[in-house]
Amino acid sequence: MPEVQRDRVRIHYEIHGNGVPVVLLHGMGGSFEAGWQARGWVEPLTAAGCRVVGIDARGCGRSSRVEEPALLQGRPYVSDVLAVMDAEGVAGAHLIGYSMGAGHALGIALAAPQRVRSLVLGGLGGIALAMAGLYHEDARRTRERLVRAASMLGGLFAERDPYAPRYAAAYFEAIARDPLAAGALEQLAVPALLVVGDGDTAQGDFAALTVTQMLERRIPGARRLVLTGVNHGSCVRDTRFKAAVRQFLQEQEG
């Protein structure tokens, strides 16, 4: 399988299909395979004429394991994803991210908008927003919420893999060291679709249902789709999400 190497870290990725380039970015503690492929995203996208680029974030999936906060500081996912795109000759791509992956997609669009054809941001709550270098409401309160979230997610990930809590701890330490800003969301000239479940409320005003309301207000022309009867965990599997993304991509390609 193809990979790129950056600052001692291997970034694993896969290519499926041919046509319009679409980059899929998974949630925290997941991988391209578990987050997207196993949930039935690849086949409908390739059938719709897309070239799917599925990336395992550093520290996840088949990419190098990472336990050093320094290797996660400064939002290295931006350069990781751009390096994969460069390796595959992709000048610009549609970015589709869920949860952490949505935060990464937003961070890439803010740092390198010329490489982004459109954004699909699914389940983007306050944690993922901080991963993009942004705060919700104010930086101090966001950092307080992140401390509580780090403990919660560490316990959750421990059930999956003994390594996962160490990765999560390193990532949250990296976020604590990185600056947070309000961000120039009003200057983002990239078509954006925000998708969230109406049950994505577990973290209150830090949850994606609330955070995406703010993003809809601040990103020019952004569309927000709220799916009924699903929460943060089940939204990404929903057939309505997949159908909305296919329609959105078709609109962008005209």
Who's near 81: CB < 8 A, 6+ residues apart? 23, 25, 55, 95, 104, 108
In the numeric block, the tokens 């942004």 are attached to: 134
DSSP assignment of 70-133, as one string?
Answer: GGTTT-THHHHHHHHHHHTT-S-EEEEEETHHHHHHHHHHHH-GGGEEEEEEES--HHHHHHTT
Instruction: Write down the pLDDT at residue 160.
Output: 72
Per-residue pLDDT for 151 more than 80?
A: no
pLDDT the model gives residue 165:
85
pLDDT tens profile 171-198: 999 999 999 999 999 999 999 999 999 9
For 26, the enclosing helix (H) or strand (E) is: none
- For residue 156, is pLDDT > 80? no
* Residue 147: pLDDT band with limits 50, 70, 90: confident
Structural domain spans, the chain: 3-253
Assess if CATH 3.50.50.100 describes domain 3-253.
Answer: no
Say if residue 152's pLDDT is above 90: no
pTM over 0.75: yes
Q: What is the C-alpha to C-alpha distance for residues 164 and 157, in angstroms, rounded to an integer?
A: 6
Structural contact between residues 142 and 113, judged by C-beta atoms closer than 8 angstroms: no
In whole numbers, what is the pLDDT of the chain averaged over residues?
95
Burial 76-109 (b: 16+ CB within 10 A, else e): bbbbbbbbbbeebebeebbbbbbbbbbbbbbbbb
Distance CA 164, CA 79 (A): 23
Lowest mean pLDDT among 49-58, 79-88, 153-162, 220-229: 153-162
Cβ–Cβ under 8 Å, residues 115 and 159: no
pLDDT of residue 173: 93
Residue 31 is predicted with a pLDDT of 96
pLDDT tens digits, residue range 197-224? Answer: 999 999 898 999 999 999 999 999 999 9
